Structure 1
Amino acid sequence: MEISAALTRKQELARRNWGRWGGDDERGTLNLLGPAEITAAASLVRLGEALPLAQELDRKTPTPPRRPAPAHFMHRDGGDYLRSGDPPPRAQFSDDSMLLALHTATHVDALAHVWHGEELYNGFSRETVTSTGAHRCGAETLGPIVGRGILLDVATALGADVLPVDHAVRVEDLERCLELAKLELHPADIVLIRTGWWSACAASESTFAREPGPNLDTACWLAEQDIAAVGSDNFALEVLPSGFDEFVFPVHELLLRDCGMPIFEGLALDDLAQRSIYEFMFVAAPLPIVGGTASPLNPLAVI
């Protein structure tokens, strides 16, 4: 789709869900995940396995240049007892801390993360996001995320281990994935898109500047399916560069701000793909970081 047509489609979806769940709503499309959806997702569990979908966190975790890398500090270890010169007590313990940028590794973007003009999701003022945190649509408002997860393995569907850096994932790519998996997309689904990018590409500054991913037209299509959330195994979900001069992250703007749809980034999806698991119970519990614009995650595919 041409840029002008994609922008027109985006405008038609603008404010799609504003007021849908009330004027004070801060959860957006996660409201679609009610008791019926959770119960249906639980019925997908057959093997009794929980597969983690998160990257490991340490000082070597790939991090964009503008964000600090994770830093892990030990406050107490076995050496502290030796240095004291006293006989060690029967019960000894270790203690540590981690400094972590919230938009690092596997995480979920809260709805306060992106806005344009004067408003973020649901018409809340941009002035609600201050140096003390997001006073609307912060990470603490997301709550548990449980529903039917769908893996759309675009890389494998297109016969690749990893998509080319300039590949914009198209609607027909996602439809091809659904066809190969013999599945249909339903409202309230949680869609995970595999590009192969994160596991295949070395972490470098260019990794965070260019990547394959859904373009704006594809994001519009996903929003029209009324899904609950979307994520991918790359840095920023969407194809980079976006191809738009006026904004760098049009997919973020559409999903987070216009539609109230949380975004998962940095997912580890290779295990699911290698086992050809395309439908599962998805479980994630964002940390209730008051005023946070994102939360680290260890999401699970329960099969």
Structure 2
Amino acid sequence: MLDESGNWGRWGPSDERGTLNLLTPDVVVAAARHVREGRVLSLSLPIRGATSSPAPTTVPHLKGRPLPQHFMSVDGGDYAAGTRAIGAGLKMSDDALVVTPHGTTTHMDALCHMWSGDALYNGHPAGRVRSYGAGRCGIEKAGPVVGRGVLFDIPRLRGVEHLAATDRIGPDDLEECGVEIRPGDIAVIRTGWPLTWQDGPDAYWAGQPGLSGAGGRWLAERDVALVASDNAAIGGLNEHQLADEDLADDLHMIFLWRHGVHLAEMLWLEELAETGRTDFLFIAAPLKIEGGTASPINPIAVL
């Protein structure tokens, strides 16, 4: 049940990649021409977690979400899984990592993450989404993302360190940034909201700024390949960490379900913003988690 025009059927009835299909070889080659300095920046928050450490409280995350858990072993002294003898006099450490991406770390949403009725993006049956994974539109269908990134720095536009929790970014804000946007671009939206974590979790959990429904439609109409932001949900959140929009204006429904636009959330954009660059080569590769609704990513900006 599609209540407005989108990209269903645009790349055929079996399509599970959506607007990532716009990242053709020619588009990737053109994006590479925006590398002028050779400087490489990570746009990811760190995965910092352990059961016996305060480390998780030092990284922004949504309240109540299962935090990343990182276990280290040294020759099996405190965590035996995966350790083995590797020779006289040699020692080895090993890792075990448990991550639930949504709301806890920099990640990319799959097209199976949200839907309405009984169909995923492009009409694929939602009944194929089960506890063992999604049979359609899982994150493994996305593949590597390489394209031209364009930064919409809304705090710089407004002359503030970060947006207020109640701020919503509309088409006028995006246009005023003066950024040229082309089909197949990766739209990167800076709100500055991760900076509030330095004032404590309660400040970060007071709500979040983000795109409005109209702002989301503005980007979708311009055929962006992916939308990324430094907030936790692309759209705004209230003090209960929930979206206030109705179904027609819900950003995940506009992008993931109607238009097949993957989303990357919880980026760290401060170093990128300091460069003043609004165009760059954007690279991100989700893990091949078969049937996954999301994957941790380490997005890269090459200037």
Fold conserved between structures, TM > 0.5: yes
Q: Determine if contact 2:145/2:285 at 8 Å carries over to the other structure.
A: yes
Matching of residue 188 in structure 1 with residue 184 in structure 2: yes
Q: Distance in 2 between matches of 1:187 and 1:248?
A: 24
Matching of residue 22 in structure 1 with residue 9 in structure 2: no
Return closer, same or farther for 1:249/1:224 CA change in 2, 3 Å cut-off. closer
Would you tell me which structure has more helix in proportion to its own residues? 1
Question: Could you tell me the TM-score, scaled by structure 1's length?
Answer: 0.87
Structure 2 residue aligned with 1:227:
224
Letter in 2 for 1:237: I
Letter in 1 for 2:109: D
Matching of residue 122 in structure 1 with residue 114 in structure 2: no
1:187-231, Cα deviation, whole Å (9 max, x unpaired):
110000000001233563673562101110110111100110101
Q: Determine if contact 1:52/1:298 at 8 Å carries over to the other structure.
A: yes
Structure 2 residue aligned with 1:7:
none
Shift of 1:46: 1.4
Shift of 1:131: 1.0
Structure 2 residue aligned with 1:261:
261
Q: Determine if contact 1:210/1:240 at 8 Å carries over to the other structure.
A: yes
Q: Mean Cα displacement is larger for which, 62-71 or 39-48?
A: 62-71
Letter in 2 for 1:164: A
Shift of 1:146: 0.3
Q: Determine if contact 2:212/2:249 at 8 Å carries over to the other structure.
A: no
The secondary structure found in structure 2 opposite 1:113 is coil
Q: Distance in 2 between matches of 1:79 and 1:243?
A: 49
Counterpart selection for 1:69 from 67, 70, 90: 67
Q: Distance in 2 between matches of 1:20 and 1:66?
A: 38
Percent of residue pairs bearing the same amino acid type: 44
Q: Determine if contact 1:76/1:96 at 8 Å carries over to the other structure.
A: no
Q: Determine if contact 1:188/1:228 at 8 Å carries over to the other structure.
A: yes
Shift of 1:67: 2.3
Q: Distance in 1 between matches of 2:219 and 2:34?
A: 22
Letter in 1 for 2:229: S
Structure 2 residue aligned with 1:276:
276
- Root mean square deviation, CA, Å: 2.1
The secondary structure found in structure 2 opposite 1:231 is strand
Shift of 1:247: 4.3
Q: Distance in 1 between matches of 2:90 and 2:151?
A: 46
Question: Could you tell me the TM-score, scaled by structure 2's length?
Answer: 0.87
Shift of 1:11: 3.7
1:31-84, Cα deviation, whole Å (9 max, x unpaired):
00010111011111111121100001112133323421111111335967xxxx
The secondary structure found in structure 2 opposite 1:112 is coil
Return closer, same or farther for 1:293/1:249 CA change in 2, 3 Å cut-off. farther
Counterpart selection for 1:12 from 4, 28, 42: 4
Letter in 2 for 1:12: E
Matching of residue 90 in structure 1 with residue 92 in structure 2: no
Q: Distance in 2 between matches of 1:192 and 1:198?
A: 15
Q: Determine if contact 2:196/2:204 at 8 Å carries over to the other structure.
A: no
Number of aligned positions between the proteins:
281
The unaligned stretches of length 5 or more in structure 1 are: 1-9, 81-85
The secondary structure found in structure 2 opposite 1:274 is helix
